[in-house]
Amino acid sequence: MVSNEVSGDVSGPVVQAGDMGGTATAPGGYANTGVHIGDVHLAWSSPVRCYYHRRVVEIAPQELVGREAELAEMAAFSTGADSSYMWWRAEAWSGKTALMSWFVLHPPPGVRVVSFFITARWPGQSDRAAFVDVVVEQLAALLNRDLPEHVTAATKETHLLGLLDDAARACHERGEHLVLVVDGLDEDRGLTTGPDAHSIAALLPARLPPGLHVVVSGRPNPPIPADVAEGHPLRAASVIRALIPSPSARTIQRALEQELLHLAEGRVERRLLGLVTAAGGGLTATDLAELTDMSPWQVQHQLRTVTGRTFTRRTSPATATGIEVYVLGHEELQVTATRILADDLPAYRAQLHDWAQTYRERGWPEDTPPYLLGGYFTTLLAARDLDRAVDLATDPARQQCLHDVCGGYGRALAELDAAHDVLAATETFDFVSMLRLSIHRDDLTGSYSRWNRALPAAWAQLGEVDRAVSIARSMGAHSYQAGDRADALIAIAGVIRNRDRAGELLDEAEQVVEYLCASTNLGDFGHRHWRPLAVAAVRVGDRARAFAALNRVAGAEHAVGALCAVAVELWRTHDREPVAGLLDRAETAAREETDPVARTRLLRVVVDTSAAVGDSYRAELLTRSVPDREHRAQLWLLVARAVAARGDAARAGLILDHAEQVIVTMSRQRSRIWAWPDLITAAAAVGDHDRVDRVITRARHESAALARSSDARGFNGNFEDVALVAKLVEALCGIGRIDQALSLSTNWLDYESRKHVLPSIACSAAETGRFDLVDRLLRHFPLLENYDFTLGAVAEVAARLGRHDRARAWLRQVDTSTRLLHRDARAVAGVVVAAAGQARFDLVDTVIGLVDGLSAKASLWRSAICNPDSVGYARTYLDRIEQSAVHAESDAELLVAVEALCDLDRLNQALETVVRMDNNTRPADSMTPAMSAWTAIAKASARTDDVTFALELMEQVWADATSDGRFLPIVAKQVAEALLEIDGVDAVRAFGNTLPPDPSTTEYLAMLIAVEAARTGHAEQAQATARTLTTIQYKADVQIALADAATERGDFDTAETLARSVVDYRWVDCVERLARALLVAGQRERAEALVDSALREHSERTPLRALTADADPVRKARAVAQLLRLGMWTDVVDDLVEMEVGAQLHGVPELRALWLGAAEHGARHLRVLDTITAELARTSIIVS
């Protein structure tokens, strides 16, 4: 034996030659002797490390001998100047996989490798879809990117090729080479999946970018797939390398085949062989014991002895705990065993199905075998047992079991997508199965979208970091949610102790933030995430990263907030030298703000921070610089806290006296109430408890007076008033007066409005250890909109305080509640309209009674009343409102009734109703609904050519608003909209000239005029106005109108340019309308290219719906299938009915289950039913 030693710095390969001595065995390896060629692996030349790396490690032999010439040739090829192909060809049992896996794990210096090993021994690893998924994951890891979102079957291969180009370019720029290794082209099962399926070989690019080399292996037969294009490098003889069979491999082949034949003759051995063959591998000794009525010890003993060489142990991919499972030792053994046991395999498969059914009937308990959570599903897909595969993937209990095992729904979603892809590949379009998969995908991704960043942080604090990261990565199914994912990753990094892992998470979060900031539509939104990232970086000791993040923040508000937050965190961690400089930068940014209101708001942040870090001098100077007396008084409250902190309690008291005197003399009642919480907090901070009690009493009296003036029942949906109470509640919670805060919210806020204060009260109670109070609050308010958020927040507090039992209990509640149904009220509009059309008003009442929220109910009532067959019901509805007691919902519901009656041209009844609204005894809070009702009547009058009466009504509406004075900006916009509809642009301009100065209202009117100009063909005028607008939403309104106008006149080039210039998410809607127009104009290829381009933008909405308008039935079906793949089943219901699928919808069990589940859980989560439910209503399936 020759041994080598390496010392010192080594930059090149290390070659070990000679007899390495005897045999060595390892799972999946061969016993070899001869020459070993390897290298010293430096960090910059290591292979891409992701989960697939573990698979390659298990495939590779422990040592490779006799292949020094081949490895040398591969090394020279990989580092050559030309990008090209190398194809190693040989018959089975020649050692191809051993050579390829060794090279993947031991690449030459300066070479990066991504790989895929095609094999049918592992389910789901032998077709084009698996190749794309595995290679995309590795390329994303190499590029340090997130996996692409919203990828469909139509676009994921494009993403793969794009990532290949990007990775090759990145390596080339670093002076490295990228090698793609694909082993086993002959084992590709892709061509057997359907008439439109394609091979992996056909996907390999014909023209390689600089720096990319491709190494493949396979047998001479079958020949190169027919779908590989003529002229592709794989068709050139020059790329082929003949691999001389390994003598050792041949010896092993003969021994294993002989052993396999021997196994087939024994009763116990044949049964073990049959089960492993039928399962496709992946069964543990315990599984085999359960299936054979043997003990686990007997199975292990049997597999260790005579059958031990035939079976290979591998780590199960279905678990993260390293459980060993058994597979056949070589691909050819699987083929041979399948042939030998052909007559028996159906019985073995039936036994596996029965075994799986027992666990299904038990609800997939915690002891469910890993195979049934992984390999079983992919085996069903490989066998094209699609009905059973769909049933398995859509089993909610199994989805929850996968969630508990994996820490998220990622694997459940992957199964749904895999089943859909196989169904789509057949192009038989089994839309019922696709619909079932889509409903579940929608439900699961909806669960992700409702998780908040406190949830991953709580799991991380409980020590379950992998689960936390899995949940965080699952957030952001849409681009606008990517920020939630970044915040969640940042939160995890801030609480874990492993600094290296924290750094990796911050790297990942940083990539997401960079994407958001670079996005045309999301840039401003993205910059707010630099603040928590910088704070977390300080927390983990990475000051350089924190300062780099601060330098990348754009926008004064984001910059000041980030600088101040980092200053506080540095002060807290006793790294105080940079604090003054950060405050200098924040002060400069605040003073440079040109808007005086915004400047005061930013200076307040700097003052607050200065007070927090003990810089009372700076805080006082900044406070004195604020010109407005009332604003200055609120800043003095912050200064008082700083002065008290440095020990000057007497001066702090004088400052509070002055500030309180200013607050008392404020002219607006709401301004005073808004200031009281700050005074309470400041007084508590300086220890002036008498002042605290006095101010609380005064604040309660003034708030009660405001409540009486607003509504007989208190604050009732007026957002400004609710915000006042919420601020007061938060202040009380902040000083430990939790019971007072709870009493205040109970007495002054209605049930729905309490959602604004529940998190504050619950978290404060948790912070003080009052967990019983938290449980009581959660029991009393289970229907509130932010119930799940509150659960996550209190769980995070409990985990931070070390109360892991409480944290886990609350987190389990989050897991359960997020799986409830989650659509909004628009989802049930279909069943409301359908039921009303059949005079099924009992069903209408049932549906609307289950829906949360006043506005949601109101929109549904209108949907029912506006049905032409619902006139009698409208009268019944009005009678019910008239007879009901006067309460908070009355005016809002009456408003909907008025609007509905106007739509039905029943103006006399509408007038009677609005008069009743005016006669209500409630004070001014009823004013806004009444004005909206009069506006609706005015618009309806104009539609009947009574323009004069309409204008008189709007004049009166504005007069009433002016006399009240509270709602001028809101009513001004409402009046302007009505005038535009009634009398055109000139009326809006004239009205604008009468308004007092208000930038927001002025911009809104300008937007209305510009939109009308765009619609009427005055594009230049509209564009000129758009350039002057500063409000992003208003600017987008004009851009959308311009794009739509260009689409309507057939100017598609201009329309596309304008659509892509829209500065918010609605640009996707413009693209959808444009794509539909292109289809109508016969420009199908351009429409498809436009849609594909939009999909690659990772938008939260997709224009793919446009392609359902295609006249070609096959293309239309493909578009519908793709939308179902995305979980957008509610968008294709009409298309399914058109394609005569409607008659089969009653066979979709999920719909009835979802309906019954919604009814069981009440109002809280009935949000998944939509127009598809109308189909069930017509077949009388929902209500029986």
pLDDT tens, 1115-1127? 888 888 888 887 7
In this prediction, residue 181 has a pLDDT band, given cuts at 50, 70 and 90, of very high
Mean pLDDT for 418-438 is 84
Mean pLDDT for 459-471 is 81
How far is Cα 476 from Cα 497, in angstroms, rounded to an integer?
A: 26
List b or e across 1121-1150, with b for residues whose CB sees 16 or more CB atoms inside 10 angstroms.
bbbbbbbbbbbbbebbbebebbeebbebeb
pLDDT of residue 48: 37
Mean pLDDT for 175-193 is 81
Looking at the whole model, is its pTM more than 0.85?
no
How far is Cα 1096 from Cα 150, in angstroms, rounded to an integer?
A: 8
The CA-based dihedral angle spanning residues 422, 424, 425, 428, taken in that order and rounded to the nearest 10 degrees = 110
List b or e across 862-897, with b for residues whose CB sees 16 or more CB atoms inside 10 angstroms.
bbbbbbeebeebbeebbeebeeeeeebbbbbbbbbb
List b or e across 633-649, with b for residues whose CB sees 16 or more CB atoms inside 10 angstroms.
bbbbbbbbbbbbbeebe
Closest CA to 238 of 78, 81, 89, 76: 89
Mean pLDDT for 162-167 is 89
pLDDT of residue 576: 87
In this prediction, residue 1041 has a pLDDT band, given cuts at 50, 70 and 90, of very high
Closest CA to 975 of 946, 937, 935: 935
What is the Cα 1006 distance to its own chain's centre?
36
pLDDT of residue 359: 94
Q: Which comes out higher in pLDDT, residue 359 or 60?
A: 359
How far is Cα 64 from Cα 26, in angstroms, rounded to an integer?
A: 12
Closest CA to 644 of 684, 584, 588, 686: 686
For residue 292, with 0-12 CB atoms within 10 Å meaning exposed, 13-18 middle and 19 or more buried, which class applies? middle
Asked whether 185 and 218 are in contact (CB, 8 A), the reply is yes
pLDDT of residue 564: 94
* Own/partner long-range contacts of 3-9 (Cβ < 8 Å, ≥24 apart): 6/40
Q: How many CB atoms lie within 10 A of CB 913?
A: 21
Q: Which of 491-495, 534-538, 632-636, 660-664 has the highest mean pLDDT?
A: 534-538
Minimum mean pLDDT among 281-290, 832-841, 915-924: which range? 915-924
Q: For residue range 196-235, list pLDDT tens digits in order.
A: 457 899 899 999 988 899 999 988 877 788 888 888 999 9
How far is Cα 959 from Cα 979, in angstroms, rounded to an integer?
A: 15
Q: For residue range 735-776, list pLDDT tens digits in order.
A: 888 888 888 777 766 655 666 788 888 888 888 889 888 888
pLDDT reading at 182 higher than 80: yes
How far is Cα 938 from Cα 606, in angstroms, rounded to an integer?
A: 49
Minimum mean pLDDT among 170-184, 573-587, 860-874, 1014-1028: which range? 860-874
pLDDT of residue 1001: 80
Query: Could you give phi then psi for residue 430, rounded to 5 degrees?
Result: -80, 80
In this prediction, residue 871 has a pLDDT band, given cuts at 50, 70 and 90, of low
Q: Which of 580-594, 1053-1067, 1167-1181 has the highest mean pLDDT?
A: 580-594
pLDDT of residue 16: 32
Mean pLDDT for 17-39 is 31
pLDDT reading at 1159 higher than 70: no
Minimum mean pLDDT among 414-428, 781-795, 866-880: which range? 866-880
Q: For residue range 534-591, list pLDDT tens digits in order.
A: 999 999 999 999 999 999 888 888 899 999 999 999 998 888 899 999 999 999 999 9
Q: How many CB atoms lie within 10 A of CB 297?
A: 10
pLDDT of residue 606: 93
How far is Cα 259 from Cα 656, in angstroms, rounded to an integer?
A: 91
Q: Which of 33-42, 563-572, 854-863, 1024-1033 has the highest mean pLDDT?
A: 563-572
pLDDT reading at 595 higher than 90: no
pLDDT of residue 204: 93
pLDDT of residue 1092: 78
pLDDT reading at 1061 higher than 50: yes
Mean pLDDT for 441-460 is 69
Minimum mean pLDDT among 56-60, 599-603, 652-656: which range? 56-60
